[in-house]
């Protein structure tokens, strides 16, 4: 138990992110619950330096910064792609691999170049996972963490133009299409009472179970 009162329809919380793609995904996930989700960008909140070395540390930094600045509940997501052949990189630095302008075509090419340099050319050598940690933070300092993971294979060239980030090069286990080729309803693969498909949906399912009051 987090000690934070369970959320109910009509409650407001801040998504501690300036990423429009992430906001769109969360609004879709939150839609069945009648919660009002606003982004840190809408409130013109500053982006804190993500100095953590784990997803949990960075999720906490972002959630607590937003909760304190807005004086309301805040939800953050820290997520990334971990590639076995690269020793777990890019990991918590996934967005940084896309450069200061967040050019994910550049980021995907950088990952592919690193895989080629590691001689990781067969599907078995190109295993990776997407991981997400959600943090719900209260202005008084309380928080709760929820984690999700999905394993898959890195493909090249990129495939698909939906989703965002590194989605076009990640093919989840059990599928022959990438996240970049999946409509959001398939990528999430989530509904109340289900686990979900994506790392974010799986973390969200745990968040719902632990934190949202359902009718």
List, for residues 165-213, the tens digit of each pLDDT value. 999 999 999 999 999 999 988 988 777 777 889 999 999 999 999 999 8
Beta-strand relationship, 127-137 and 74-83: antiparallel
For the full predicted model, state whether its pTM sits above 0.75: yes
Q: Does residue 140 lie in a domain region?
A: yes
Q: What string of pLDDT tens digits covers the 215 residues of the chain?
A: 468 889 999 999 999 998 888 888 888 888 889 999 999 999 999 999 999 999 999 999 999 999 999 999 999 999 999 999 999 999 999 999 999 989 999 999 999 999 999 999 999 999 999 999 999 999 999 999 999 999 999 999 999 998 889 999 999 999 999 999 999 889 887 777 778 899 999 999 999 999 998 76
The active-site residue, picked from 77, 78, 89, 143, is 78
On whether residue 36 sits in a domain, the answer given is yes
Number of domains into which the chain is organized: 1
Element (H, E) at 22: helix 20-30
Q: Which domain holds residue 179?
A: 12-211
Is residue 128 situated within a structural domain?
yes
- Does some domain include residue 119? yes
- For 52-196, where are the alpha helices, taking DSSP H only? 55-70, 104-117, 184-188
Tokens of 153: 């294979």
User: DSSP string spanning 98-116?
Assistant: GTTTT-HHHHHHHHHHHHH
Sheet holding 143-154, edge to edge: 36-39, 12-15, 74-83, 127-137, 143-154, 170-172
Catalytic residue check, 161: no
Q: How far is CA 70 from CA 15, 19, 56, in A?
A: 11, 18, 21
Instruction: Judge whether 27 lies within some domain.
Output: yes
Query: For position 67, which CATH number holds?
Result: 3.90.950.10
Task: Look at residues 56, 81, 207 and name the one whose alpha carbon lies nearest to residue 151.
Answer: 81
Domain assignment present for 192: yes
The reply to whether 177 falls in a domain is: yes
Tokens coding 10: 């009509």
Q: Which helix (H) or strand (E) holds 143?
A: strand 143-154
Specify if 31 maps to a domain.
yes
């Amino acid at each position: 138990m987090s000690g934070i009162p369970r959320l109910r329809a009509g409650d407001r919380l801040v998504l501690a992110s300036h990423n429009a793609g992430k906001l769109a995904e969360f609004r879709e996930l939150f839609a069945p619950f009648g919660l009002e989700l606003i982004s840190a960008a809408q409130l013109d909140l500053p982006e804190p330096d993500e100095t953590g070395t784990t997803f949990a540390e960075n999720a906490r930094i972002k959630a607590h910064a937003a909760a304190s600045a807005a004086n309301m509940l805040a939800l953050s997501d820290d997520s990334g792609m971990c590639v076995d052949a690269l020793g777990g990189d890019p990991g918590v630095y996934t967005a940084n691999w896309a450069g200061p302008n967040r050019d994910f075509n550049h980021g995907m090419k950088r990952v592919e170049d690193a895989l080629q340099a590691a001689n990781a050319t067969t599907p078995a050598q190109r295993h990776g996972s997407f991981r997400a940690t959600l943090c719900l933070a209260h202005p008084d300092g309380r928080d709760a963490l929820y984690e999700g993971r999905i394993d898959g294979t890195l493909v090249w060239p990129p495939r698909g133009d939906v989703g965002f980030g590194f989605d076009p090069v990640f093919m989840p286990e059990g599928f022959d299409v990438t996240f970049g080729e999946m409509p959001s309803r398939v990528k999430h693969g989530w509904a109340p009472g289900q686990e979900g498909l994506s790392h974010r949906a799986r973390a969200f399912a745990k968040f719902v179970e632990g934190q949202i009051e359902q009718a």
